[in-house]
Amino acid sequence: SQQGEEDPQALSIQEGENATMNCSYKTSINNLQWYRQNSGRGLVHLILIRSNEREKHSGRLRVTLDTSKKSSSLLITASRAADTASYFCATEPGGGADGLTFGKGTHLIIQP
């Protein structure tokens, strides 16, 4: 079952603009991870944020986590054409060893 739900499902912006994607989930988590996937290829790990963290940065990426609202956001600043991809949030449950539960993803298109 899909725990994470990304919003919006699709997003089209101009190169240079910022892109924000949101993710909501339902149960308690140990961590939340964001991944990028280019057109049916492998998943590239972007950021892992633990349940006791509120914000993390990596280059042009900023991730926030609000466990009280069970939501996370991914901000990509100064977008580039190469950022065009699908972005997924994935949650690791708080109870122990288990696989990640993925949302349906946000398809981001950067217009040149």
Partner 1 sequence: DSGVTQTPKHLITATGQRVTLRCSPRSGDLSVYWYQQSLDQGLQFLIQYYNGEERAKGNILERFSAQQFPDLHSELNLSSLELGDSALYFCASSANTWGDTQYFGPGTRLTVL
Using CB under 8 A, list all residues that contact partner 1: 2, 30-31, 33, 35, 40-45, 48, 50, 88, 90, 92, 96-105
Q: What does the alpha-carbon distance between residue 77 and residue 6 come to, in Å, rounded to a whole number? A: 18
CB of 52 to partner 1, least distance (A): 12
Q: What does the alpha-carbon distance between residue 79 and residue 11 come to, in Å, rounded to a whole number? A: 12
CB of 112 to partner 1, least distance (A): 27
The Cα-based distances of 39 to 3, 13, 24, 86, 96 in angstroms read: 22, 18, 23, 7, 32
Q: Is 41 helix (H, G, I), strand (E, B) or coil?
A: coil
CB of 64 to partner 1, least distance (A): 18
Pick the closer one to partner 1 by CB: 16 or 94.
Answer: 94
Pick the closer one to partner 1 by CB: 79 or 85.
Answer: 85
